[in-house]
A and B are shown apart, each in its own frame.
Chain A
Amino acid sequence: MSTAAADLFSRLYRTWAPRIFNHFRRLSWSTEDASDLTAEVFAVAWDKRAEVRDQTRIGGWLWSIARRQAANRVRGETRRQQREETAGIEAAGESTGDGTRHRVRRAFAALDEDDRQLLLWREHSGLTYKEIAELTSGSEDSVRASLYRARVRLREEFKKRWE
């Protein structure tokens, strides 16, 4: 590995690895699986570094790799109940009496994977509709509509836990 390439890789890793790791964690992957997936994303990114033509779009490129890696990996469990339990335990551990946080995380965990991924890309990663549309090979209008529906479902789940 040349020094310049190593430096660039190192900078990218420090910027993006925590975000990608946390993205996987919030999609209910275990710490172990999220670690492996994150490492795989950067291994693939390194192998395919020649594909990068525009460095301002590296984020979108990494997210697309992350999406593929997660899709290719067989998850041990996808049951909503288990996700909710995990989210509930984690939220309860951190909330120390903050009911809203607990409910939001449980409501989020109750959503299906597509909704959760979409909300994370928007709320945590700050991707624009255009960037999400590129990732999902859809249109900006479809992203807009999907995000709206995800928010409707999230609110419904949130309300269920409020009452």
Chain B
Amino acid sequence: MACEEYQKRISADLDGELRADEEIGLWEHLRDCADCCSWRRDQILIRAEFHRWPLEALPAKIAEPAPSRTRSRAHAYRVPRPLAWAAGILIVVQSTLSITSMLSRPVETADEPLDTNGYVETITLTPADRTSFTVHSSRVPADNNKPQRNGG
């Protein structure tokens, strides 16, 4: 077996992941192979330095736990998507209904006697579109315009 294969096994052994059947012949090879022995020694040395690498303390700004501290602040408190969609649709429908209602109802009525011949002219302004109005005019005798009394 080539040295590379033994070194793979040494690597796995350092990780505690060497299978029992892979141990066969490994230690005998290490006794006889200076290269693999050196490879293993270097890995142990490097690994020891790794393990001596001290941990840095957490910087003050993240020393204490706070789940919504970062850019996720908005993310953490955001409105659930279905609710946001429902609210949006509601706003659009309500706005449409308001505009339609405003455009279709008469906005101004003049109910004044305009002449002296006994007629009352009624003028009604109805929005034709968003920028103009249609003028409806009607003349009726003033008597017809009086409130009728019951039983009179």
Q: How many A-B residue pairs have CB under 8 A?
A: 105
In the complex, the answer to whether A47 meets B8 with C-beta atoms within 8 Å is: no
Q: With an 8 A cutoff between CB atoms, is A123 at the interface?
A: yes
> Which size bracket describes the interface of A in this complex?
35 or more
Q: With an 8 A cutoff between CB atoms, is B131 at the interface?
A: no
A13 contacts across to B, CB distance below 8 A: 65
In the complex, the answer to whether B49 meets A151 with C-beta atoms within 8 Å is: no
CB distance from A22 to the nearest CB of B (A): 5
> Which size bracket describes the interface of B in this complex?
35 or more
- Secondary structure at the B interface, as helix, strand, loop or mixed, is helix
In the complex, the answer to whether B62 meets A128 with C-beta atoms within 8 Å is: no
CA distance A104 to B15 in the complex (A): 19
In the complex, the answer to whether B39 meets A43 with C-beta atoms within 8 Å is: no
In the complex, the answer to whether B61 meets A35 with C-beta atoms within 8 Å is: yes
In the complex, the answer to whether B59 meets A17 with C-beta atoms within 8 Å is: no
Q: Which of B50-58, B87-95, B117-125, B140-148 contacts A (4 or more CB under 8 A)?
A: B50-58
Contact residues of B with A, CB < 8 Å? Answer: 7-8, 11-12, 15, 17, 39, 42-43, 45-47, 49-59, 61-62, 65-73, 75-76
A-B contact pairs, 11 of them (CB 8 A): A9-B65, A10-B65, A17-B58, A19-B55, A21-B62, A25-B56, A39-B70, A43-B70, A94-B54, A147-B11, A152-B7
